[in-house]
Each structure stands twice: as structure tokens, then as C-alpha cells.
Amino acid sequence: MLRIGLTGGIGAGKSAVSARLAERGAVIVDSDLIAREVVAPGSEGLRAVVAEFGEQVLRPDGALDRPALGLVVFADPAKLAALNAIVHPLVRARSAELEGAAGPDDLVVHDVPLLVENNLGPLYDLVIVVDTADDVRLDRLVRRRGMTEEEARSRMAAQASREQRLAAADLVIDNGGTPEELDALVGEVWEQLKAHQAEASDRA
């Protein structure tokens, strides 16, 4: 099994890369999806979040109000750290469970937004960084996700810098171009991953 960490700053297009790797046969362990799962209504994770931040982070239906929580934590590093201390252990446990269900010949891609921020690179055989210029990311967040420029800049500032992510990368995918160009780049990286896996099998 080859364990790959996939990361990129908000708005870089990491999800688009993850989807293309899945199409080629990768087993995707998506930390964002798992992070939603572990704070679903009725979960231990949601109870812990409410205990920390209060009832104002809940919607009327009892589900987590993510925009309300985001306004609280992304403006305050201490509160963001408190949220991460609740959610990250739950995400790691669920990720390990999903990885355990993969086969020995699978390429397992862990889609981890905060891989660099949490120094998780050593956990993986290879780290792929989806890289996009900061001004392009900002434009995407405002146009596609409806954020204000101030909110988008705050989200970006709460993450590692572009330079920090690139320093942690074994492979880089530039997602500043067209979807067709991204397809081609992901195809090239997929071939590199398969070659790396073959070499690892030969050494075993």
C-alpha cells in the first residue's frame, strides 16, 4: 500500500485533483468529509464543539452552523486551536479505519487540508501539493464560494503560506490553468505514483 498525503491551500483546487485521482483508482480518505461526519448531529464531536463554543454555533435544526463557527474560529488563533484539538483526533481515528479497509496494492490518498500546518508530512510515503497563485485562489473564493474578500483573505491567512506548502511537497500539481491542463498533470503524477509503488514492491 502506498500512502499519499494530498494538500493545498483553500481555493487551490485540491478537491478537483482528488476527484481525478479517484477516477484513476485511488482510494480517497477525505479529511473534510470525515470532519463533517465526526460533528454530525448526535455525535460526540458535536457535543464537544457546543461545550467549547456554545449553542450559537448550532442551526435551529441542531446541526452545526459552519459559517457561524467559522466566523468565531478563523478570527482567533486560540479558538481555532481549540476546535482543532476536538476535531483532529476524531478525524485521525476515522481516517485510520478507512485506510485499514483498503487492499495491500491500493494507492491510498489522504486528502488533508491542514497537512503542512499540523506537520503531518512524515506520516505519508509521498506528499502532493496542489499549487495555485494566491491571487487566483482569492478570486475563486470570492467568485465561486461567495466569500467577501476580507473573509477569503482571513481564511487564507489562517493556513500555511504557499512557500511552506511547496517546501513540504514531494510532487507539485499546478492548478492555475484549464481543467484539461489539470487532467494532463494529474495523469502524469498518477504514472509517477504507480512507478513509485512498483519500486517499493520490488524492494520489499
Res. 195 pLDDT band, cuts 50 70 90: very high
Give the pLDDT confidence score for residue 201 in this predicted structure.
73
- Describe the strand order of the beta sheet including 171-174 as a list of residue ranges: 27-30, 107-111, 2-8, 126-131, 171-174
Q: What is the DSSP letter of 58?
A: B
Give the pLDDT confidence score for residue 181 in this predicted structure.
96
For the stretch 170-181, pLDDT in tens is 999 999 999 999
Among residues of the chain, what percentage have pLDDT more than 70?
A: 100
- In this prediction, residues 148-165 reach a mean pLDDT of 92
Give the global pTM: 0.81
pLDDT, the chain, mean: 93
For the stretch 71-81, pLDDT in tens is 989 889 999 99
DSSP string for 166-178: HHT-SEEEE-SS-
94, 38 contact by CB (below 8 A): yes
pLDDT for 88 beyond 90: no
- In this prediction, residues 159-167 reach a mean pLDDT of 94
Give the pLDDT confidence score for residue 200 in this predicted structure.
78
Give the pLDDT confidence score for residue 141 in this predicted structure.
95
Rounded to 5°, angle at Cα 127 from 8 and 122: 115
Give the pLDDT confidence score for residue 194 in this predicted structure.
93
Give the pLDDT confidence score for residue 204 in this predicted structure.
61
Residues in the chain: 204
What the chain holds in terms of domains, given with CATH numbers, is 1-26+106-204 (3.40.50.300), 35-105 (3.40.50.300)
- In this prediction, residues 24-35 reach a mean pLDDT of 93
Give the pLDDT confidence score for residue 157 in this predicted structure.
92
At position 73, the amino acid (one-letter code) is V
CA–CA dist 68, 9 (Å, integer): 21
